A and B are shown apart, each in its own frame.
Chain A
Amino acid sequence: MAASRKPPLRAEALLAASLLTPALLLVAVLLLVPLLWLVWQSVRQDGGFTLAHYARLVTDPAYGATFLQTFRISAIVTLACVVLGFPVAWAAAESGPTLRALILALVVLPLWTSVLVRAYAWIIVLQRTGLVNSGLEALGLIHRPVILVNNEFGTIVATTHILMPFVVLPLYTTIRTIPREVLAAAASLGGTPAFVFTRVYLPLSLPGLLSGAALVCVLSLGFYITPELLGGGRTYTVSMLIARNIALYDEWGAASSVSVALLACIFLIFFLAGRIVPIDRIVGTR
């Protein structure tokens, strides 16, 4: 059997290779090669080796501040997505078929609409004359408009809104698999609801939670559209830094070292999360 299998196996490998070639070629030429070129560019200056571009990340306070603001936004967005998304995933898992379908549709539909449209919607809602301000004024809670947009707050609200479904979906899939008997057993053995939730429910939902949180964390670290449109120049993230260095200043050295640093953070997060949940599952939610 083993001997007779050998020739077809080689043909099989050849077939696989030829079917994979177009996809691999596309990703190699348009993504891998440019990434390697960026890495190379980040240690070069005037035809020689240099670490100056990386040194600037540490010594120039403007770069440090940008990274700090990006990490802060990403952390807040991830936390908000988890806190807001968990009850939604839970409610979907607890509901009957009709209500569940409705909840999931409400989660998935925003995902289908354009990111640009959602960012624009938040500009409308949060601006000086927007829905929130006119509502609060009508209620007599405020007398002059509160600045809700063109700052970090507006960026965080819109980014959270755009990324939240990525937490809800994997979380829901995981929660669905938690056997109810386990929860009932924990409760019948004397566990208080709070105990059952923190010691049984939460640990069992951890793979989904982690998968969603890792994806949101990574996506928000590299988000570009919301800080650019809702940040009003007061929000300056790493992705904006990269774009400006290329488009405005033609500073490839700076842009490449910042890109490599950002990629390192992102791959580190994927690597750590990947030890618990397979990376293709994490990314597959997108």
Chain B
Amino acid sequence: MRAASPARIAAFLFAGLVLLWLILPVLIVIPMSFSDSRFLTFPPKALSLRWYHAYLGSSLWLRATRVSLGVAAASAVLATAIGTAAAYALNLSNGRAMKLVKLVLLLPLMVPIVITGVGIFLVYARVGLLATLTGLVLANTMLGVPYALTSVLGALAQFDPAQEMVARSLGMNRPRAFFAVTLPQIAPGVLSGALFAFVAGLDETVVALFISGGRYQPLTKRMFTALRDEIDPTIAAISTMLTLVSCLVAAAVMLNARWSERRRGVRA
């Protein structure tokens, strides 16, 4: 370790302040959600569960929550299956064509989300998918594929393809060799890809603003319109619950990463 020079200490302190600035706003919605006032003063003058009751008593919010969870789960499953297949194919060769294909599949992460939303709106307006559940699931699947793809590609890079060859030379057909030998070993990558896609789907707002409507509006769209019009503290309660869900998923991803590391350690 180097000596603690004043410059070093100052840099560490600065980094600490930046970290506080990074984390405090994420946590601040939690005390706000237990306020009993209509106004968002901090710290709240008195505590209550008023806004949680407001949320649970509103069929509109509950319905939006069901839509959000359903769409995020369905699109995460689809995006993971499609993304895993694509990752397996991309891993077979690394020619120029494959590099181009990979960039095309990463395009949803590069194009500004507003433009993506306008584009999907255009397509859906022609084929009658506006304001449908199918439309929301398809859009979020497309947006989720890059997450599954990168995550599974990362796992495949750690995997020795010779193992699958051995299984096939011993008489397994290709799909069977994949499911029996490859998939169990890249499972952590597949799982974290699915979790990334799920959270991305849960958080997706802008595309939903363009394509969702009527009975099938996700939570984020309702929150966005509510925030634009007036500050309703019910949103603090919903935000707290959303943050809790994100923390749980993040914890799952970290546990999953640790678990796969340990397994690799055992094998090595």
> Which A residues fall within an 8 A CB radius of B?
12, 15-17, 19-20, 22-24, 26-27, 29-35, 37-38, 84-85, 87-88, 90-91, 94, 103, 105-110, 112-125, 127, 129-131, 134, 161, 164-165, 193, 218, 221-225, 228-229, 239, 242-243, 246-247, 255, 259, 262-263, 266-267, 270, 279-280, 283-284, 286
Contact = CB atoms under 8 A, between A and B. Distances in A.
A262 B111 CA distance: 9
Given A27-B142, A107-B22, A124-B28, 12 more contacts: A22-B85, A23-B82, A107-B19, A110-B26, A113-B242, A121-B29, A131-B28, A228-B224, A246-B118, A270-B110, A279-B103, A280-B102
B23 to A, nearest CB: 5
B111 A263 contact: yes
Given A23-B82, A26-B82, A229-B224, A37 B122 contact: yes
11 contacts: A23-B85, A27-B105, A31-B108, A33-B123, A105-B254, A109-B26, A115-B205, A165-B22, A193-B5, A224-B114, A284-B106
Interface in B24-79: 25-26, 28-29, 32, 39-42
A125 B18 CA distance: 16
Interface of B: 5, 7, 11-12, 14-16, 18-19, 21-23, 25-26, 28-29, 32, 39-42, 82-83, 85-86, 88-90, 92-93, 98, 101-123, 138-139, 141-142, 145-147, 149-150, 174, 199, 202-203, 205-206, 209-210, 220, 223-224, 227-228, 231, 235-236, 239, 242-243, 246-247, 249-250, 254
Contacts of B11: 87, 90-91
Nearest to A241: B114
Contacts of B86: 19-20, 22-24
Contacts of A17: 89
Contacts of A118: 25-26
Given A12-B92, A131-B28, A134-B41, A224 B119 contact: no
B144 to A, nearest CB: 10
Contacts of A246: 118, 121, 210
Contact of B104 (A32, A38, A116, A121): A32
B145 A26 contact: yes
B231 A30 contact: no
A116 B220 contact: yes
Nearest to B174: A15
Contacts of A19: 85-86, 88-89
Contacts of A31: 107-108, 111, 116, 119-120, 142
Contact of B26 (A113, A129, A218): A113
10 tightest Cβ-Cβ pairs between the two chains A and B: A222-B112, A34-B119, A91-B15, A19-B89, A23-B86, A121-B25, A16-B89, A239-B114, A112-B250, A87-B15
A105 B22 CA distance: 11
Given A31-B119, A116-B203, A16 B250 contact: no
B90 A20 contact: yes
Given A31-B119, A116-B227, A106 B22 contact: yes
A110 B82 CA distance: 28
A163 to B, nearest CB: 11
B121 A88 contact: no
Contacts of A119: 227
Contacts of A113: 26, 242-243, 246-247
